[in-house]
Amino acid sequence: MIRVMACLIVIGVHSDLLVSQVDDSQILWRVMLGGGVTYFFILMGFFLFRKKSFLSLMKRTVLKILLPGLVIMLLNRLLYPWIQNESGLAECLTHLQFDYKEYINAILHWSPGAYASEYLWYLFAYVQVVMLVPIMRLFCQEDSGENRYEKLRFYIIGIHLFGMILTDAMAFIRLPLSTEPYAVLTTPAMMAIAGYTLYRRRESIRGNRKIRWSFFGLAVVLEIIRWRLQIILLAGDLGNTNYLGWNTGFAFLVAVCVVIFILTLEIGEGWLKKTVLSIGKDTFVIYLVHYPIQCFLDTRGFGRFLQSACSEASGDMKLMGEWIFLLTRILVIFALSLCFARMYRILRRCLRGMFARAREKQLRIE
């Protein structure tokens, strides 16, 4: 459920309206959609330490995370003129324009580069967290009677969170100082450690309604404060989007509250659980293809058409129009990406079956 929710939020932040003025409702949307990546990093901690062998974990990460990301980076570059509606698909394939030096240089700089691939920075950050697992294991072990490992984890989270909050405060407190989060590890690694801590306590809070609604209420309060502070910042400087980032103290605290809220839920063996489990298996592929799909649609006028349809006669997006516009964009892009993911799953299953039958035939011949 957390994975599906985070996937929708990430699509939403890429589908959001451009803030050209201090519009309270638009800023509220951006605040609500500002922490999608935070959920994914917290979710990493749920499963990151299951494999005892670091080499097997690294192998799986390279083959199932990094390699597909590099393939999508390559395809985005090869098909970029078609995605951007600069040429037809046939012309794009017959006149490939590919700067392999730029592609290799982007990888060596640990960056996806441009060409509708900017969103893939998350994969490089994911691999970086996995590379830190040998160090993170020092803090993420089974607790002994003294709970010393849990204390170490809270120390790491606390000291890093203090730095994030201090950095947030510096947006208003003008001092001749430059601040960075007081990091023991990287911010994504700290979030993964927080996720590990939450996941280990999931059984003790499941079904606890008091915890559920307390943290839900806290998340709402934090989002309102974050929203009002961001409005104040934009009133003075339209380029100051300090509180909209995933790596802010507000984003992290809200994500923790929402994750705790979800962990307290009790979901039976009904259609909802089956649907969430089914979609959850496809979220990585959805993430990989959603942005090129969005660019493809927008360069064909989908965004302008939808905005026009949701606007009033005056041409201004009112509150209800903004809600319909954004929700429709998210659901359409999500649905198309899900269809692509399902087709990919079917193709992979067919290829596996073909290879299995070919191998079985070869064994019979031998």
Write down the pLDDT at residue 179: 59
Taking CB atoms within 8 Å and a gap of at least 24, the contacts of 312-321 are 317/17, 317/26, 319/25
Q: Which pLDDT score is estimated for 175?
A: 65
pLDDT for residue 356: 83
Spatial distance between the Cα atoms of 201 and 244, rounded to a whole number of angstroms: 29
Q: Report pLDDT for 310.
A: 75
pLDDT for 255: 94
Half-sphere exposure of 347 (CA within 13 A, CB side): 6
Return the pLDDT at 123: 92
Q: Could you tell me if 195 and 45 are in contact, meaning their C-beta atoms sit under 8 angstroms apart?
A: yes
Under-50 pLDDT residues of the chain:
19, 313-314
pLDDT at residue number 164: 87
Integer angstrom CA distances of residue 36 from 14, 69, 246, 256, 346: 11, 18, 7, 12, 28
Counts for the chain of helices (H) and strands (E), in that order: 19, 0
pTM for the full predicted model:
0.87
Sign of CA dihedral 205, 221, 12, 166: negative
Per-residue DSSP letters for 197-238? Answer: HHHHTHHHHTT-HHHHHHHHHHHHHHHHHHHHHHHHHHHH-T
pLDDT of residue 49: 85
Distance (Å, whole) CA 99 – CA 102: 5
Distance CA 72, CA 340 (A): 13
Q: What's the half-sphere exposure (Cβ side, CA atoms, 13 Å) at 231? A: 13
In single-letter form, the type of residue at position 167 comes to: T
Which pLDDT belongs to residue 29?
83
Tokens of residue 225, six digits:
């404060």
| Whole-number pLDDT of residue 145 | 52
Burial class (CB in 10 A: 0-12, 13-18, 19+), 246: buried
Distance of alpha carbon 37 from the chain centroid: 3
